[in-house]
Amino acid sequence: MNTLMKPSHHDKTVEKLDFIEQWLPARYTNSVNIILKNEPRDPAYIRKVRNKKIIDSKVTDALYKISLINKFQTENN
**pTM exceeding the 0.75 threshold for the entire prediction:** yes
Grouped pLDDT means (10 residues each) for the chain, 77 residues? 56 86 96 96 96 91 96 91
Q: What is the pLDDT of residue 72?
A: 96
Q: Give the chain's count of helices (H) and strands (E).
A: 4, 0
Q: What is the pLDDT of residue 67?
A: 97
Q: What is the pLDDT of residue 7?
A: 67
Q: What is the pLDDT of residue 12?
A: 79
Percent helix, strand, coil in the chain (nearest 5)?
Answer: 70, 0, 30
Q: What is the pLDDT of residue 5?
A: 55
Amino acid at 44: A
Say how far apart CA 16 and CA 14 lie, in whole Å: 5
Q: Where are the domains of the chain?
A: 17-76
Q: What is the pLDDT of residue 77?
A: 76
